[in-house]
């Protein structure tokens, strides 16, 4: 990546306006229930503070749709930042305006200010030029460390960069690009990709791109049932995209033409309903009419794990079953465990895959776990992300 990076900037005495992705889940008491994204931005935050910069953080939270929503203020994030950095954080109640400019102008080296939710303004998602300019008043340098938002052309991601002579990637963004771009551009072989999740339609472009790069593609999750249905197999009450059967067949034909091995589940954990109290059983190949697939079966786990064991590069995006329910989590857990035991470079796409790795306590066993679901998918599709394209070149 030939983009300017945080380490290329001399931050001492400078206001470093940093876009982070602190769109974190909150519990019923309005406390942060998962601080993964805040922890991921810690290297950038510490770098600015430790090198005498003035750290001005900006983020969105939830979907307030351009209005002030009291429950979506960034106040719950403050305590987590303080815990992780060991520094006090001054939280302000807006993200633009004279009052905020005054607060930021009085900052001392090493101090932290957190701006209010950017999406309280509709201009943020509209990439409004005036809003971007007002945000830019708050910094001497602009740093983007919000990989999870970098596929969005928003004011704090794209529009703002034109008002800075130097716009750089944060340490997290740099790491995301390094691992995701590298595995897509120059992977070691054998290269195995594992795709799961609900819909084939969400991953068509990803699969098309991967077929030019991988040696083997393992498909699980609900999307596998569409492929199995396309082959004429009974899938019971499992989720199937009936309008995507022809696409599934075309993908299989293209894989054969390119000599890419595609493996689908050969047995299934099925349930009479998708509930923790459901009756379950293992079925081979076809699924009975009144049952639905909720996870890959034990033979499929062994089949997939064998392929993973031989890989030198692994890319995983999407769970292999309804892993949120412990009763249906064994397949996803087993595959995560198999990846963790290899010496391969393992890159896990964001979203549900990252949540699964965290749930099973295997986060640190992967080479890289992405913080961006949609952004990582677009990189896998071979797209250029607007938030990265907008940064200064070295």
Could you give the 3-state DSSP secondary structure of residue 231? coil
Is-contact 169 145, C-beta < 8 A?
yes
199, 239, 254, 365: which one is catalytic?
199
The answer to whether 199 is a known catalytic residue is: yes
CA distance to 70, 82, 113, per residue, from 88 (Å): 23, 6, 9
Active-site residue 387, yes or no? no
374 as an active site residue: the answer is yes
Q: Which two tokens stand for residue 387?
A: 């938030």
Q: Is 237 among the catalytic positions?
A: no
Q: Distance (Å, rounded) from C-alpha 16 to C-alpha 138?
A: 8
- Please state, in angstroms and rounded to a whole number, the distance separating the CA atoms of residues 294 and 17: 45
- CA distance linking residue 34 with residue 356, whole number of Å: 13
Question: Which residue's entry shows tokens 């071979």?
Answer: 382
Q: Which of 37, 80, 203, 229 is catalytic?
A: 37
| CB hemisphere CA count around 77 (13 angstroms) | 31
Q: How far apart are CA 352 and CA 329, in angstroms?
A: 12
Q: Is 327 exposed, middle or buried (0-12, 13-18, 19+ CB in 10 A)?
A: middle
- CA–CA dist 90, 184 (Å, integer): 40
DSSP 8-class letter at 5: B
Tokens 């004279």 correspond to 98
Residue with tokens 């950095």: 85
Q: For residue 166, give the 3-state DSSP assignment.
A: coil
Angle between helices 171-185 and 42-50 (to 10 degrees): 130
Question: Which of 53, 159, 196, 351 does the annotation list as catalytic?
Answer: 351
| Residue 259: HSE in the Cβ half-sphere, 13 Å Cα cutoff | 1
Sign of CA dihedral 63, 69, 75, 76: negative
Return the active site residues: 37, 199, 351, 374
């Amino acid at each position: 990546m030939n983009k300017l990076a945080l380490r290329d900037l001399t931050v001492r005495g400078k206001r470093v306006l940093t876009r982070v992705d602190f769109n974190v889940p909150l519990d019923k008491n309005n406390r942060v229930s998962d601080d993964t994204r805040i922890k991921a931005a810690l290297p950038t935050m510490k770098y600015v503070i430790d090198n005498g910069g003035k750290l001005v953080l900006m983020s969105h939270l939830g979907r307030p749709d351009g209005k002030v929503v009291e429950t979506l203020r960034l106040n719950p994030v403050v305590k987590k930042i303080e815990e992780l950095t060991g520094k006090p954080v001054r939280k302000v109640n807006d993200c633009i305006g004279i009052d905020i400019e005054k607060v930021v102008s009085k900052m001392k080296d090493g101090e932290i200010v957190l701006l209010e939710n950017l999406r309280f303004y509709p201009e943020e998602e509209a990439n409004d030029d005036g809003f971007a300019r007002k945000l830019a008043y708050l910094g001497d340098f602009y740093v983007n460390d919000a990989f999870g938002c970098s596929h969005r052309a928003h004011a704090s991601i794209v529009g703002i960069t034109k008002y800075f002579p130097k716009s750089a990637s944060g340490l997290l963004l740099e790491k995301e690009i390094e691992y995701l771009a590298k595995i897509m551009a120059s992977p070691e072989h054998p290269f195995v990709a594992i795709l799961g999740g609900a819909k084939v339609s969400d991953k068509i472009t990803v699969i098309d791109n991967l077929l030019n790069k991988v040696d083997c593609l393992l498909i699980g999750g609900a999307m596998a049932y569409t492929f199995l249905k396309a082959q004429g197999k009974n899938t019971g009450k499992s989720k199937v995209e009936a309008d995507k059967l022809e696409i599934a067949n075309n993908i299989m034909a293209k894989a054969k033409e390119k000599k890419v091995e595609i493996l689908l589940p050969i047995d299934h954990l099925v349930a009479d309903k998708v509930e923790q109290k459901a009756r379950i059983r293992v079925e081979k190949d076809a699924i009975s009419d009144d049952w639905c697939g909720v996870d890959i079966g034990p033979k499929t786990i062994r089949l997939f794990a064998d392929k993973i064991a031989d890989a030198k590069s692994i890319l995983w995006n999407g769970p292999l079953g309804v892993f949120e329910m412990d009763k249906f989590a064994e397949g996803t857990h087993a595959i995560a465990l198999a990846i963790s035991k290899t010496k391969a470079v393992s890159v896990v796409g964001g979203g549900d895959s990252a949540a699964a790795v965290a749930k099973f306590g295997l986060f640190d066993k992967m080479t890289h776990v992405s913080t961006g679901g949609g952004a990582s998918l677009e990189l896998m599709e071979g797209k250029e992300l607007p938030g990265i394209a907008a940064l200064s070149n070295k």
